[in-house]
Every structure is written in C-alpha cells, then in structure tokens.
Amino acid sequence: MSNAPAVPIALRWQGDASGHLEILDQTLLPTRLTWLACRDVDTVVEAIRSLRVRGAPAIGIAGAYGVVVAAAEATRHGLGPEAARAHVLARAEQVASARPTAVNLRWAVERTLAVIDGKVGCDASAIGSTLLAEAQTIHDEDRRLCDAIGRHGAPLLPPGGVLTHCNAGALATGGAGTAVAVITTAWDSGRRFEVFADETRPLFQGARLTAWEFVQRGIPVTVLVDAAAGHLLASGRVGSCVVGADRITACGDVANKIGTYGLAVLAAAHGVPFYVAAPSSTFDLSLDDGAAIPIEERSADEVLRPLGTTVGAPGAAAFNPAFDVTPARLVRGIVTEHGVIQPVTRQAIRDVLGAG
C-alpha cells in the first residue's frame, strides 16, 4: 500500500444522474474544509462566480456537471421530453456564462450538450444519464491530462528553485494540476529544490491554496508577497517560473491570474525561463491574440476589503481585473498533454495540438 500523501480534490459527483455535484469550498481554505452540495443550477453558478470552485479546468468540469444538475432539475419538475431539453439548454447557457475569461467553461458545457444533439423524445432521466456519462468522461480525461502535463513539464525545470503564481494545482483541475503537477512530478522523481508561491493578491490563492496543496503533499513551500518576486528573482534562488493559464490564443498570448504578466516581465529581466502549463482545452485558436481575450473585472471589495478585512481608505475606488495577458514572447514554452510547445509560435502551437 502506498504511503504517498493524497492529492486534494476540488469537486466530485455524488450518486447517479439524479444525484448532485459537491464542490470543496475554496473560499474557506485553508482553515476549513467544507463541501458544498449543488443540487440546483443556481448554486452551481454562484459557486463558479464566487470562486468556491476556480481554475480553468475545474470550472470546466463544474460546468459539465452543472448541465447534469439542470437535467436533474427537469426530472424533479416532471418535465416532458421537449420541455426537459429546453430547460437543460437554457440552464446550460447560464452556467457557460458564469465567468467570461476561462475558455474551458463554455468548452466543457458545449461538449457535454453535444451528446444529446439529435436525440429527440428522450425523457429527462435518460437525458441526465447521457449527460452524466460525458461529464464524467471530461473529468476522467482531465486527470490523465494533468499526469501527462506533469511528465512533459518536469524535465524542463533547470536547477534552482521554482516560483509559481496563483493556484494551478489539484484544486484548479480534475487531477494533480497543471503547473503544480510539473513541480510535484519533478519532486516525486527524487529531485529537490526550493518551491516558492506568490501570495497572489487580492484573494491570496497562492498563500491559501497553492501553499496548502504543497503542505498536503509533504513538499516544503515558501510564500512571498507578490511585490517580493523581483527581489527573489534577482537573488538567484529561482531557476524557473511555472504558471497555469485560463485562455491561450492562436499566437500564444496567455491569460492567467492578475500578476502573471508582471512576473513574466521580471523573469525575462533576470534571465529566468517562464513556462506555462495548460491542457489543449485552454487554447482558443479562434482568437488571434491576447487583445481579444475578455478580461473579467471583479468587485472593489476584493481589493479594499480582502477576506472581509477593511484595508482601503474609505471613499477610495479600486481597479480589480481578475486576469492579465502575458505576450507569447515572454513565454519560454507551453506544456500541454501532447508535449511542449517551444518556441511559442503560431505554427508550433498548431503542430503540437494537431490543429493542421
């Protein structure tokens, strides 16, 4: 029997198609481990919008299960076949629209819905069973994708510490993570190095979530305020930076948690390779470059009253974009389940993704 620490999980489905989605409420970590039961679509949408579940792959999986929840609603309401289908489609659009930047959410919802295309006359229960099978397939696939990303990315890490930003671990995916999987795979192979996590303002995903994951895995981790990253990079203690992504364009521009762009600029200034780890579902080849990526702006309270504590001067306004865009020229390589895109060019992206 293995004594390896268990990898945390972000979400799980309970029961058959009439069951429900459970989400580990990440707004309460690391002090409280609380599972939120999502038995209706409104709860799923609220969980995505409020960041109870977050990370592009994880909200995609949550979105897929959200479509199943919509079918369960139709079953409980006793809707006939056509009314049930209409209900699922309408509720699915609510789920897909819950957050705008991460492409995985709409991708997963649309992929799940595709399995009932052309299937007319099915009752709500049958629709739900079909949708659940596809949602579980998406979840299972993400576990395997994370493992593949870890295998492809671990050999890229040069000697020296590794710095990451935000959370691109098990809590952000259906498996071991993307950027975090690169780090943990290298660690599990016997390599030893310092691991650093930016705190990631304004919601502290690095300090609360990434650090918690490494502690759960038995890997020592050091948290730093975002503004200390430049000083740390200048010290020579960091050999590479690895982050996740919420959307990647055809040219390789990367949308990720706010602060990623600044970290990439600092890494380039100090000659430290900057890698991005993401599954192929995070690529949006319909967008030519980063200027076309919609950037979500969130509540001023997240900046002025982080975690419920007032820190901003009364009457001050706040600028709170949730994401920024890192130009492809600052990215040394993008690690996918299919392999590493390096250098990051349009043609290399299409070659590795098999997009022609």
Supply the residues annotated as catalytic. Answer: 246
* Backbone region of residue 259 per phi and psi (left: phi > 0; alpha: psi in -120 to 50; beta: other values): left
Residue 103 contacts residue 59 (beta carbons within 8 Å): no
* Backbone region of residue 21 per phi and psi (left: phi > 0; alpha: psi in -120 to 50; beta: other values): beta
First-to-final CA distance of the chain: 45
Instruction: Please tell me the distance from the alpha carbon of residue 322 to that of residue 295, in angstroms, as a whole number.
Output: 7
DSSP-assigned letter for residue 8: P
Residue for token pair 């957050």: 99
What distances in angstroms separate CA 110 from CA 67, 87, 105, one per listed residue? Answer: 9, 15, 9
What distances in angstroms separate CA 60 from CA 11, 87, 125, 324, one per listed residue? Answer: 11, 20, 23, 20
